[in-house]
Amino acid sequence: MPRTVITGGAGFIGSHLCDHFMAQGHEVICIDNLLTGSRDNIAHLEQEDGFRFVLHDVTRYIEVDGPVDHVLHFASPASPADFERLPIQIMKVGAMGTHNALGLAKAKKARFLTASTSEVYGDPEVNPQPESYLGRVNPIGIRGVYDEAKRFAEALTMAYRRVHGVETRIVRIFNTFGERMQLDDGRALPNFISQALRGDPLTVYGDGKQTRSFGHVSDLVRGIALLLESDVWEPVNIGNPDEVSLLQVANEVIELTESKSELSFLPLPPGDPKVRRPDIQRARDLLGWAPSMSRIEGFKRTIADFRARIDAKKS
């Protein structure tokens, strides 16, 4: 049975990866310092054979006994709200955390897959963004801490591939949402859903005409698993090309929650990308991957999950 290490395994995406690889029969070692992750996300796995949770900060040396077949590096705060709250932690986990995770993969001769991001494209001049687009990132802007950490992580991953022959994979993740996102995560969708369910105004930044393309976490996990199995070392975009304005998203959330909330327009944070949409041709051609869950179906599931957690908090 393959042994798979998942850094950030108690986070939103990490915990869904733990579920997936446990279901595949892997032994899963979930490493997390719980800075933005939560033990609740993996509570259902903790008693299962073959699952182990290790409370550890991966910016420090990572010790794992025995053989390891895969290292999936998903540790990092990822909400723009964290870019201002946790900028140094973000840079440390992107740099030192990636270095330690690569060192573990090298020592164990494991296959390494790192979570990169559409943020490597910055505020893009081309839409949609293919992997060949080199990006427009402001290193000293508020988003620079995340964007540059992830760009550094990609560069270091390629260096380990070239120098040490580590088998590497890079997934560039576009806006992903779904069950288990933190209620107060700070990103648009969790904010809108929490606000709508509580009857608070939905905070739309700017005029809401900026676009994003939202993909459900189940499609992302399937893409990551295909990438890991493949021999594709080049970065691969995984996201849903279904591009939509944030204003439309806010209105859809109000409709789906049957909320009486209104919209409240707040200033657009500096450096906020105006458009974002993945070009997924590479994932289609090389992995045979395409998203299958519609935005609205994904929103419905996420709303049901948020509603259950908000109700549980009340009682």
- In the structure encoding, which two tokens stand for residue 171, read together? 């997934």
Q: Is 242 in the site for ligand UDP (CB under 6 A)?
A: no
Nearest distance in Å: CB 139, ligand UDP: 17
Q: Is 210 in the site for ligand UDP (CB under 6 A)?
A: yes
Q: Is 9 in the site for ligand UDP (CB under 6 A)?
A: no
User: Is 146 marked active-site?
Assistant: yes
Nearer to ligand UDP, 100 or 175 (CB): 175
Nearest distance in Å: CB 175, ligand UDP: 5
Q: Which of 133, 152, 205, 233 binds ligand UDP (CB under 6 A)?
A: 205
The one segment of 92-100, 205-213, 287-295, 302-310 that binds ligand UDP by CB under 6 A? 205-213
Sites for ligand UDP among residues 165-184 (CB under 6 A): 175
Q: Is 187 in the site for ligand UDP (CB under 6 A)?
A: yes
Distance separating alpha carbons of residues 202 and 23, to the nearest angstrom: 37
Q: Is 246 in the site for ligand UDP (CB under 6 A)?
A: yes
Nearest distance in Å: CB 214, ligand UDP: 9
Q: Is 36 in the site for ligand UDP (CB under 6 A)?
A: no
Q: Choose, from 121, 146, 160, 205, the residue flagged as catalytic.
A: 146
Nearest distance in Å: CB 122, ligand UDP: 11
Residues near ligand UDP (CB under 6 A), total: 14
Per-residue contact string for residues 67-86; x = within reach of ligand UDP by CB under 6 A: -------------x------
| Residues designated as active site | 146
Note the residues at the interface with ligand UDP (CB under 6 A): 80, 175, 187-188, 191, 203-205, 210, 212, 246, 268-269, 272
